[in-house]
Structure 1
Amino acid sequence: MATHLDLEEQEQLDQLKHFWSKYGNLITLTLVLALGGVAAWNGWQYWQYRGAEQATVLLDELERAAQAGDSERVVRVTADLQAQHGRTLQAAQASLLAARTLHDAQKADDARGALQWVVDKGSDDAYQAIARVRLAGLLMDQKAYDEALKVLDAKLPAAMAPLAADRRGDILLAQGQRDGAKAAYLAAYRDMDADAGYRRLVEAKLAALGVVVGEDAATKEKTP
């Protein structure tokens, strides 16, 4: 009986050895890859957390520099954020803040560069859209009208479309294209929420062009 059990155990052992010799390397490799994947995921998560944390510290520093009106520090910190943490939301937020601060400091070219960075390299569609609208306005101020209109030609999130249309109307009006400006303002007006405060401003722009806009968005030209 004992011999029978010994033979059966030996047979099972031989089968296990055969199985391991055939599939052992594959099993080991699979385990290594699985464990490596877990380690890589944990490492990536930690890196993301650390990156966001460091980006927040730099953003706080930038906000202090902006409040102090220290444009040189604003440029330096923004460049650090873009270079070191360019894929974070903080980098886009910092660039938008830097653009506004630099514009107020009469540094239009630096402001333009900050906005262009968000357009080209920002990781968030909403921030990119905001940057496009602001960049178009800055280019309009510089009388670079065709370039400003080109900036607005990208597909934008629905929430930003009315503001982009309003900015397009401003640019067309600055070019003397009244009919195009009217069409752009009407598109902005119709796409804005009825209770949006900015809608009143668009309505005033339309009125200045002789267009009366009713609550139902019906329009008519004022007669001379």
Structure 2
Amino acid sequence: MAVELYDEHEQGERVRNWIREYGAAIVMGLVLAFGGIFGFRYWQEHQSAQNALAADYFNRIQNEIEAGQTDRAQEHLESLQQQAGSSGYAGLAAMAMASAHVEEGRLEPAARLYREVLDNRRMEMLWPVTRLRLARVLESQGDARAALDALSDTPAPGYEASWNELRGDLLLAVGQVEQARLAYQDALSELGSQAGSQRLLQMKLDATGPGAGGESS
């Protein structure tokens, strides 16, 4: 009986010593764990609120563009960029706004918006189509070489035909006929079975044939 009481006393002392030694660390671990849980929930709720706000702004911007209220749409885009600029809706809204500027012949603000999208790492999924649109805007501004610079990277999968066709147009504009011909050939080989587009591309390719013009630097 005495041995059993001694064992219980000894075990109790061991537990109390263990608690004294490690109790503070355990409590701190629990605090951090629960803090992490609640912090993650707060972050989720914040992200959800940001996305809802951005979606609301995006819908407003689309409706205002359709109604021809581009100045008001631009104001809402700026508010969206300030309040939820990291949202994917901010990139989509910028693209829509840039297209509206192009339709109105306002090429400089359109180019600025496209460049803003390209400068934002969070919007990388929009870069291929953004580069194409920026290149077309720069071409319309009469700066074919800057447009070529916008297409200097390797085209993303799915954009090869459009990329090479536009490169062909730009190379032809700066007098690099043979390079333009190669770009059109690449575009044709990547185009697939789109008959109408094939005919147009073939016409462009034919225009770069023998006697179409010399190379210029």
User: What range is the shorter-chain TM-score in?
Assistant: 0.7 to 0.9
Q: Indicate if the aligned counterparts of 1:126 and 1:157 stay in contact, CA closer than 8 A.
A: no
Residue matched to 1:163: 162
SS of structure 2 residue aligned to 1:159 = coil
Q: Indicate if the aligned counterparts of 2:188 and 2:201 stay in contact, CA closer than 8 A.
A: yes
Residues 161, 20 of structure 1: alpha-carbon distance in 2 compared, 3 angstrom cutoff: farther
Residue matched to 1:215: none
Residue 123 of structure 1 deviates from its aligned partner by 2.1
- Structure 2 residues not aligned, in runs of 5+: 213-217
Residues 149, 222 of structure 1: alpha-carbon distance in 2 compared, 3 angstrom cutoff: closer
Residue matched to 2:215: none
SS of structure 1 residue aligned to 2:158 = helix
Residues 181, 61 of structure 1: alpha-carbon distance in 2 compared, 3 angstrom cutoff: same
Aligned equivalents of 1:208 and 1:29: distance in 2?
A: 76
Residue 180 of structure 1 deviates from its aligned partner by 1.4
Q: Indicate if the aligned counterparts of 1:140 and 1:171 stay in contact, CA closer than 8 A.
A: yes
Matched, 1:28 2:27: yes
Residues 61, 12 of structure 1: alpha-carbon distance in 2 compared, 3 angstrom cutoff: same
Residue 205 of structure 1 deviates from its aligned partner by 2.0
Aligned equivalents of 2:18 and 2:93: distance in 1?
A: 59
- Structure 1 residues not aligned, in runs of 5+: 211-220
Q: Indicate if the aligned counterparts of 2:97 and 2:110 stay in contact, CA closer than 8 A.
A: yes
Residue 222 of structure 1 deviates from its aligned partner by 9.8
Aligned equivalents of 1:69 and 1:197: distance in 2?
A: 32
Alignment of 1:47-62 (within 5 A): 47-62=46-61
Residue 170 of structure 1 deviates from its aligned partner by 1.4
Residue matched to 2:63: 64
Structure 1 length normalisation: TM-score? 0.85
Matched, 1:96 2:95: yes
**Worse-matched range after superposition: 5-14 or 141-150:** 5-14
RMSD: 2.2
Percentage identity across paired residues of the two chains:
28
Aligned equivalents of 2:164 and 2:52: distance in 1?
A: 36
Aligned equivalents of 2:179 and 2:13: distance in 1?
A: 85
Aligned equivalents of 1:119 and 1:65: distance in 2?
A: 24
Q: Indicate if the aligned counterparts of 1:136 and 1:151 stay in contact, CA closer than 8 A.
A: yes
Alignment of 1:168-207 (within 5 A): 168-195=167-194, 198-207=197-206
Q: Indicate if the aligned counterparts of 1:100 and 1:111 stay in contact, CA closer than 8 A.
A: yes
Residues 145, 19 of structure 1: alpha-carbon distance in 2 compared, 3 angstrom cutoff: same
Residues 73, 198 of structure 1: alpha-carbon distance in 2 compared, 3 angstrom cutoff: farther
* Amino acid in the other structure paired with 2:28: L
Residues 73, 194 of structure 1: alpha-carbon distance in 2 compared, 3 angstrom cutoff: same
Q: Indicate if the aligned counterparts of 2:144 and 2:170 stay in contact, CA closer than 8 A.
A: yes
Q: Which runs of 4+ in 1 moved over 6 A?
A: none
Residue 57 of structure 1 deviates from its aligned partner by 0.4
Matched, 1:107 2:106: yes
* Amino acid in the other structure paired with 1:73: R
Q: Indicate if the aligned counterparts of 1:71 and 1:105 stay in contact, CA closer than 8 A.
A: no
Alignment of 1:138-157 (within 5 A): 138-157=137-156
SS of structure 1 residue aligned to 2:159 = helix
Cα deviations across residues 184-213 of structure 1 (Å, max 9, x unaligned)?
122222223334864443233223334xxx
Aligned equivalents of 2:20 and 2:197: distance in 1?
A: 74
Q: Indicate if the aligned counterparts of 1:92 and 1:122 stay in contact, CA closer than 8 A.
A: no
